Amino acid sequence: MSTPVGAGRYAPSPSGDLHLGNLRTAVLAWALARGSSRAFHLRIEDLDRVREGAEQRQLEDLAALGLDWDGEVVRQSERGAAHRAALDALTAQGLVYECYCTRREILEAPSAPHAPPGAYPGTCRDLAPAAREAGRERMRALRREPALRLRAGTDAWSVQDLWAGQVHGTVDDLVLRRGDGVVAYNLAVVVDDAAAGVDQVVRADDLLSSAPRQAYLAHLLGLPAPSYAHVPLAVNARGDRLAKRDGAVTLRDRFDRGESTAQVMGRIGDSLGIPGCGTAADVLTRWDPASLVREPWVVELPD
């Protein structure tokens, strides 16, 4: 058996059961990794809300569809030392500063020309010492830490995506550590992917705009940026992003409606233009990535 070159991954948050869109993305991440002789890793991104028992159910559901993975499951909450080391490395380069702004203040602040809504306008970037001390006093009164932001040296960065092509995206002074002291997603995901040898990131395309920021951050840390493949979202009949409130959208929901694992995989296969799938292995052997439809997958389910 040949040794895997590089790795792909799937990284769910344990906030609840995976819905059909999540499962479809996981199957595609697995198929692209296995089809290119890569290893495939699972990482639980548990820095935010965690629902008891969700991680185990997610792992069981992925296995039920026929997915396997290499090595132990990694939990992001156990990677704190590596995250802090990366933050220290950026601080040593003079690329980190404290931010005292609230979310509302950022949203209401005038943005730079052509910047997307919510992009950080640089309010705290070059404050005078007295203003910084006033900001720290304000944070102490609020009983929270200042957020730590990246002092970005560019306002844009480019990445290559398997389906979207070259993406030239905005880079702002993104948060590296939040005001509650928790490392921010953009830093954690870059550090954790690099540590696992992940060079192929497959995920939903609502995260496509994050890829240039993350690739730029990897560049600053001297880490290799992965290749990207962003999968169209699953949506409900109204065109809204699929969510658990849309009804029986999880694997266990479908089981409760009398469907088998093979029938659920058949739905995923149909969405990819390969009818008759019963396991993830069918997707691996029959799916041509070049054929992926770029429109969202409209999930229509009987009651």
User: Is 277 known to sit in a ligand binding site?
Assistant: no
19-53 burial code (b ≥16 CB/10 A, e <16):
bbbbbbbbbbbbbbbbeeebbbbbbbbbbeebeee
Q: Using the CB atoms, write b or e for 254-286: b if 16+ within 10 Å.
A: bbeeebebeebbbbbbebbebeebbbbbbbbee
Which residue from 243, 209, 280, 291 is spatially nearest to 63, judged by alpha carbons? 280
Q: Examine the residue annotation and report whether 244 is marked as an active-site residue of this protein.
A: yes
259 is in an annotated binding site: no
- Please, what's the b/e burial string for 191-227 (b: 16 or more CB within 10 A of its CB; e: otherwise)? bbbbebbbbbbbbbbeebebbbbbbbbbebbebebbb
- Count Cα atoms within 13 angstroms, Cβ side, for 91: 11
- Ligand-binding annotation for 185, yes or no, is yes
124 labelled binding-site residue = yes
Distance between CA atoms of 99 and 278, rounded to whole angstroms? 51
Indicate which residue of 178, 244, 252, 286 is catalytic.
244
Write out the two tokens for 293: 């439809």
Q: Is 243 assigned a ligand-binding role in the annotation? A: no
Q: Was 228 annotated as part of a binding site?
A: no
Tell whether residue 244 is among the known ligand binding residues. yes
Binding-site annotation, residues for Zn(2+) = 99, 101, 120, 124
Specify binding-site residues for L-glutamate.
9-13, 45, 185, 203
Give catalytic residues, as residue numbers: 244
What residue numbers does the annotated binding site for ATP cover? 244
> Which residue numbers belong to the known binding site?
9-13, 45, 99, 101, 120, 124, 185, 203, 244
